[in-house]
Amino acid sequence: MSKVYDVIVLGGGPAGLAAGIYAGRARLSTLIIEKGQDGGQIAITDEIENYPGQTIEGESGASLAARMAEQAAKFGAERASDVIKEVSLEGKIKTLTGSKGVYEGKTVIIATGAFPRPIGCDNEGKFVGKGISFCATCDAAFFEDFEVYVVGGGDSAVEEALYLTKFARKVTIIHRRDELRAAKSIQEKAFANDKIHFMWDTVVESVDGDGLLSSMVVRNKKNGERTTITADEEDGMFGLFGFIGYLPKSELFEGQIDLDGGYIVTDADMKTNVDGVFAAGDIRVKSLRQVVTAAADGAIAAVQAGKYIEDSE
């Protein structure tokens, strides 16, 4: 007979690991299921400097995630490395079926996260964290007095471009259309900012560099003309930020949990519309996706899962 856990946490990013820490510390039998590397998006972040309490001299996403995982283990959270293929979330016992086994729990905390939509250019993966970023709040300070480029034309892209002007000496928005899709009020701020420039009807085709991003090829969609952009010789690199949307990892839950644009809808206590099922971190509808907010979500979800179990017994 398989073990029925008090809490099953699906996902080993900051939200899932924080949930594991709080659930384990509350003496709830806890299982964290992660299919890949701990840390989620931060696992590929070379340096974090805005997480409260981190080491001042510098912190990589991988090192922060590793310490979180150690804390969860210290408080008794068990681990499973598996890819979940199917979930059944109704009823008192929730069932998650993976490639390697079947897992049962009284509660489930979904922390599967979301990931930025890729820019879609050749060699992109080689330069993520080495010039290519998908988070201005996380990485803008690393490009102080450098040139940066922003791909996108919606609210997020233009707002992040405006934020980047506080750090970069020049910000160029690369947009595949000939006008922005952002709200007019945001557009007005961008057009009025001397640091912001625009490349219309343009897409990034490829990126390159010797370890760090230092060149890219862009193509004008109207006339087909290709242009190679290279970093200033003194800089040796430039930044390329992609803001063309996120892709939430929620396909498993379609038809069982309320979604909004693919994101899981929760209340302030991380409760979903299904009793005993909670969501935390980037997978849920929220205004700020950062390590600190993910960790907070995970803590709340774990505490609420404990209360749910108490009330159900």
SS3 category, 195? coil
Phi, psi of 281 (to 5 degrees): 85, -155
- Do both 216 and 270 map to the same domain? no
**CB of 244 closer than 8 Å to CB of 157:** yes
- Do both 153 and 217 map to the same domain? yes
| Confidence band of 1 (pLDDT split at 50, 70, 90) | very low
Average pLDDT, the chain: 94
SS3 category, 130? coil
**CB of 199 closer than 8 Å to CB of 218:** yes
Query: Which residue carries 């409260």 as its tokens?
Result: 52
Instruction: Give per-residue pLDDT as tens, 120-146.
Output: 999 999 999 999 999 888 899 999 999
Q: Pick the more confident residue, 37 or 64.
A: 64
| Confidence band of 45 (pLDDT split at 50, 70, 90) | low
CA dist., res. 293 & res. 291, Å (int): 6
- Do both 238 and 129 map to the same domain? yes
The reply to whether 138 belongs to the active site is yes
Residues 6+ apart with CB under 8 A from 60: 45, 46, 47, 48
- Do both 128 and 238 map to the same domain? yes
Q: Among the three residues 223, 242, 261, which one is the final residue of a domain in this structure? A: 242
Q: Among the three residues 208, 242, 276, which one is the final residue of a domain in this structure? A: 242
Domain residues for the domain of 159 are: 124-242
Phi, psi of 309 (to 5 degrees): -65, -45
- Do both 231 and 285 map to the same domain? no
Residue 180 has pLDDT above 80, yes or no: yes
Region label for 142, one of left (φ > 0), alpha (ψ between -120 and 50) or beta (otherwise): alpha
| Confidence band of 57 (pLDDT split at 50, 70, 90) | confident
- Do both 193 and 235 map to the same domain? yes
∠ CA 42-272-20, nearest 5°, is 45
Q: Among the three residues 189, 209, 242, which one is the final residue of a domain in this structure? A: 242
Catalytic choice (135, 155, 235, 275): 135
Query: Which residue carries 């006339």 as its tokens?
Result: 223
pLDDT of residue 46: 63
For 73, counting Cβ atoms within 10 Å of its Cβ (0-12 exposed, 13-18 middle, 19+ buried), the class is middle
Residues 6+ apart with CB under 8 A from 306: 6, 7, 23, 26, 28
CA dist., res. 74 & res. 66, Å (int): 12
In 3D space, the residue among 206, 220, 204 whose CA is nearest the CA of residue 150 turns out to be: 204
pLDDT of residue 313: 80
- Do both 133 and 35 map to the same domain? no
Residue count (the chain): 313
Catalytic choice (6, 38, 139, 282): 139
Structure tokens at 178: 């000939």
CB atoms inside a 10 Å sphere around CB 32: 28
Instruction: Give per-residue pLDDT as tens, 67-114.
Output: 999 999 999 999 999 999 999 999 999 999 999 999 999 999 999 998
CA dist., res. 278 & res. 83, Å (int): 19
Residue 2 has pLDDT above 80, yes or no: no
Residue type, 106: K
Residue 184 has pLDDT above 50, yes or no: yes
Q: Which residues pair with 159 in a beta bridge?
A: none
Structure tokens at 249: 């990892």
CA dist., res. 53 & res. 288, Å (int): 19
Instruction: Give per-residue pLDDT as tens, 253-297.
Output: 999 999 999 999 999 999 999 999 999 999 999 988 889 999 999
- Do both 199 and 258 map to the same domain? no
The 3 state secondary structure assigned to 200-225 is CCEEEEEEECCCCCCEEEEEECCCCC
Instruction: Give per-residue pLDDT as tens, 207-253.
Output: 999 999 999 999 999 999 999 999 999 999 999 999 998 889 999 99
The reply to whether 135 belongs to the active site is yes
- Do both 188 and 154 map to the same domain? yes
- Do both 163 and 191 map to the same domain? yes
- Do both 155 and 92 map to the same domain? no
Task: Please count the structural domains in the chain.
Answer: 2
The reply to whether 121 belongs to the active site is no
Strand 114-116 versus strand 246-248 pairing type: antiparallel
Q: Pick the more confident residue, 208 or 36.
A: 208
Structure tokens at 217: 């090829």
- Do both 45 and 192 map to the same domain? no
| Confidence band of 37 (pLDDT split at 50, 70, 90) | confident
pTM of the model: 0.77
pLDDT of residue 44: 63
DSSP alpha helix (H) spans, the chain: 14-25, 61-74, 136-139, 155-164, 184-191, 291-312
CATH number of the domain residue 12 falls in: 3.50.50.60
* Least confident span in 133-137, 148-152, 200-204, 273-277: 133-137
Catalytic choice (6, 38, 138, 282): 138
- Taking the CA atoms of residue 204, residue 214, residue 291 and residue 121 in that order, the dihedral angle to the nearest 10 degrees is 20
